[in-house]
Amino acid sequence: HEHLVCIALPLYHSIDPRRLPMTSIDCLRYALHGSAAATALLLLSACGGSEPQAPPIPSTPLTAVQTPPPVYPLELACAGIDGTSVLQVTVDTKGVPSIVSVAGSSGNAQLDQSAVTAVKAWVFEPATRGGQPVVQGLQVPVNFRLPAVRPDECFQLDGQK
């Protein structure tokens, strides 16, 4: 007896180009006899309907949304102290930095703390995998650079010493 059997074929499966386009379900005719036909039909009946599978949802990267700069303590800027703090940041599924630690010091504890405080307040759009937000880590360099022109406030601080 000849039976109509539906089986799922992966999209990468080699297919006769004259049969394209096609869905992910392809119906084939097999000549099956006796109990082999019944067994094959029983096994294949669990394969489901003819609904095509949804395309995979692309992943999205972690994106910074709001990144206000850190406070550069005036007394450090006036004293000519600058540097770069490198922070290790873990961003949770809500886009909030849940863990912020110093991975590389600027050489000044006050600058490092200012960097940590600022990054803890940053807002991110979380990374996604399969349409679901995921926790992701990243390293963030926070630069403290001396202003090109010494601020006027520095002269007032000099006078107070």
Under a CB-based contact definition with an 8 Å cutoff, are residues 117 and 109 in contact? no
pTM of the model: 0.65
Q: Is it the case that residue 44 has pLDDT exceeding 80?
A: no
pLDDT at site 24:
37
- Residue pLDDT, tens place only, 131-148: 999 999 999 999 999 988
Q: How confident is the model at residue 50 (pLDDT cuts 50, 70, 90)?
A: low
- Read off the pLDDT of each residue in 80-86 and give the average, rounded to a whole number: 97
Instruction: Give the whole-angstrom CA distance, residue 132 versus residue 92.
Output: 12
Under a CB-based contact definition with an 8 Å cutoff, are residues 118 and 71 in contact? yes
- Residue pLDDT, tens place only, 90-117: 999 999 999 999 999 999 999 999 999 9
Instruction: Give the whole-angstrom CA distance, residue 89 versus residue 84.
Output: 15
Query: Which residues touch 69 (CB under 8 Å, ≥6 apart)?
Result: 118
